[in-house]
Amino acid sequence: MIIELLDKVALRRYLLTSPSRAWKGICQHHTAIPSVADYRGLKTIEGIRRTHVEVNHWRDIGYHVLFGPDGKVFAGRPLNDVGAHAGKISLPAAVSAWPGRPNGANEDLIGFCCVGNYDVDLPSTDMVEMVGYAYEVCHERF
């Protein structure tokens, strides 16, 4: 279930009090598709979840926290669940950051995702502010 976190207070409460794994860092993504122009708030986030579940056959949306270009924030996959956002590690164990853990990036990094293609679009000030704030809060907890 996707939860819209309407403000910094709700985001802070979610990141600090939700049952969680002991994350070692954050893996930051952007969707590319849908783009900023295609973004329709909660409807877009639910569409990403639907694709992850129905097309990719994952049990939930792959990201833990999603950020809309309008500055809205959405809680996706529960914080105590391994993500499905970073793919499999294919490097040899000697050079992998997660030797012996083929799903290490998903196991060890909380998945943040900004909706939009930031290879071509500039992120909004509102979104950048909320992402920065989420990083600060995660730094407090993890």
How does residue 76 score in pLDDT terms, banded at 50, 70 and 90?
very high
Structure tokens at 17: 């009090």
Q: What are the residues whose beta carbons fall under 8 Å from the beta carbon of 104, sequence distance 6 or more?
A: 89, 96, 97, 98
How does residue 21 score in pLDDT terms, banded at 50, 70 and 90?
confident
Beta bridge partners of 111: 27
The pLDDT of residue 106 is: 83
Q: Which residue has the tokens 């669940």?
A: 81
Which comes out higher in pLDDT, residue 59 or 96?
59
